[in-house]
Structure 1
Amino acid sequence: MSAPIFPNRFAGKVLVVTGAAQGIGRVVALRAAEEGGKVLFVDRAEFVAEVAAEARNAVTAAFSANLETYEGAEAAMQFAAETFGGVDILINNVGGAIRMRPYAEFEPQQIDAEIRRSLMPTLYCCHAVLPHLLARGRGTIVNVSSNATRGIHRVPYSAAKGGVNAITQSLAMELAESNIRVVATAPGGTEAPPRRIPRNADGDTEAERAWMGDVVQQVKQSSFMKRYGTIEEQAAPILFLASDEASYITGSVLPVAGGDLG
């Protein structure tokens, strides 16, 4: 069943959606454009421009950047402001576990890579967008966290997403007087099409594939509904929190995981 569309929900708003080339970010960005927003699709993948072009009869642009660097984050926000005249909403969607293995099996450089992937883009983008939101005198940041702050075989990723939760709550407190909301969703396991860019460019070992199977089992068993969610079930609450319908919600991290609070 296709998700409902709310025409003009984002009319007059400029949104920046990161990680917009595939997965949850792609669906969020396309729906925001369909619902009247001017949307900048941001991703490290060059094919993000192809995805932005799918939003027919909408005002979109694409920008390729490595958001694991501050320079990439700053350039993306500046491009959005120059292209659309400002920024109203930032949806931070970059992240994802690279490897799944018991913590004792992680190598130090692998720990660092997980933190760079799933914490730093959100930390950098939240900072880089602030001059643009403050110039507007209002705004919203939606961070995509994870309920995997409690789970097996992903301790560095769990730590990164715990950091995203902390950013959300502390920044919301700091920015409330500036009329800027900061909120997050915490998705659980999500069914998604095959990735065009793999999460682990080196490929998984046989042991990692077995450990991933353990993770899938744990995630499903921890959910009251005993299943993965759909991308549409993840996109809908992100867009709700980004919209004016959620104007009295800030500092909250909403679990979207079939009852598993993480």
Structure 2
Amino acid sequence: MSDSVGLAPHRFAALIAPAVDRVCVAAVQAGQDGGGAELSQRYGGQAATGFLVELRTRLTEPGGTVDGPGFAAVTRYRDPAACRRAVDRHVAYGMVHRRPDGTLAATERGAAFLAELYQVHAEVAEELWAGHEERVLRLAATAGHLVAAALASGGDPVSDGGPGCGSAFTALAPPYEPDGTPAGVLLLNRLSALRHHRADAHAHAWGAAGHTAASIVELPDGPQRRAIELETDRRAAGPYATLTAAQRLDTLADLAALPG
């Protein structure tokens, strides 16, 4: 299959984004319903664990940290003051350590929570995608290849600066993958990393168009919005150029077949 037959990297970037979103949202929600909410409550609830879940792929790693710019990129559409207060609560619960420069790390208690969270995600993914084991293995391998390709290019989806253009992707990728991590967890965390890569591409696209995080949220559908989405696809396309058109088609088919 030739790349000229409708699956060029930028076109694939547009097609895969909603498929990745669907699979990630379904798995995370299943995790909440399948033990994640109860686990969170044991450690103090959302006030204690919220950002640990979001930053899990970096903070689970021994010594793993998320610096201030990385945290700002991950939370670019949220109120900074509200995010600081949320982190204050995590610190008060003894789950997160915050350095003077704003860098975040899990405490011993936070690390224990994250280890249990990985186990919950493993159990939930196994149940959610039962009967699709080979598909999950294929997708996990492809997603791992794409994350590595994005990191090899610096993790930056064609940056030219501008507001909101920090990198959520490099803050959280590569995901922490200890020996024996089940394929379902590998898939979920690698797809989550690819979501952040596209989010960065989107931020670069609207930043280059003169928008801020606040103004892009309010921008209605129309020519300017569509132009920004097309530019997002272009900036997010780099890793997908490392796949053949046939591989891109197979990946879309596998994602579409996953329950959730």
Instruction: Please confirm whether the aligned pair reaches a TM-score higher than 0.5, indicating the same fold.
Output: no
* Higher share of residues assigned strand: 1
* Higher share of residues assigned helix: 2
